[in-house]
Amino acid sequence: MKISQVISLIPEDTMDEALLAIETVTLLPATNSARLRCILSREFTLHIQVNGDAIAITAESWPTVNATAATLLPALKRAIYEIDEAAAAGRYKQSPVKPNIIDIDSRPPAPAHMDIPMWDEARGQWYDAEY
């Protein structure tokens, strides 16, 4: 089973609070896995790994939950509720996500005396847009 097939088992239109907590899904097809960013009362990340017909739901410093396609939704909901409850009680905390910042801006900093600094690509310099 492929990770895309497993993720397609999660309904998009649902009234279930745990499934609504899934904010983003990042598919990692090279490893046949996915990363789920969840926010219920706290923010945390779950990882789903597919190995044949077995599905493993993991989180940092949390016991692995094993499931099949038939038991995925109940296992996923339970994992979301349990992790969120532990995080709210202060018993569980994931390490903060490091931002992936790529700064390719080679322009010099804008002069401080300008009210509305604008960059002129043609001349390669800053100008004050207010005047």
Q: Where are the domains of the chain?
A: 3-88
Nearest alpha carbon to residue 5 among 33, 30, 36: 33
Nearest alpha carbon to residue 18 among 43, 38, 45: 38
Structure tokens at 23: 């904010």
Can you give the pLDDT at residue 51?
Answer: 95
pTM for the predicted model, two decimal places? 0.72
Residue 32 one-letter amino acid: N
Residue 6 clears pLDDT 80, i.e. is over it = yes
Q: What digits encode the pLDDT tens for the residues 53-107? A: 999 999 999 999 999 999 999 999 999 999 999 999 999 998 887 777 777 778 8
Number of Cβ within a 10 Å radius of residue 54 = 12
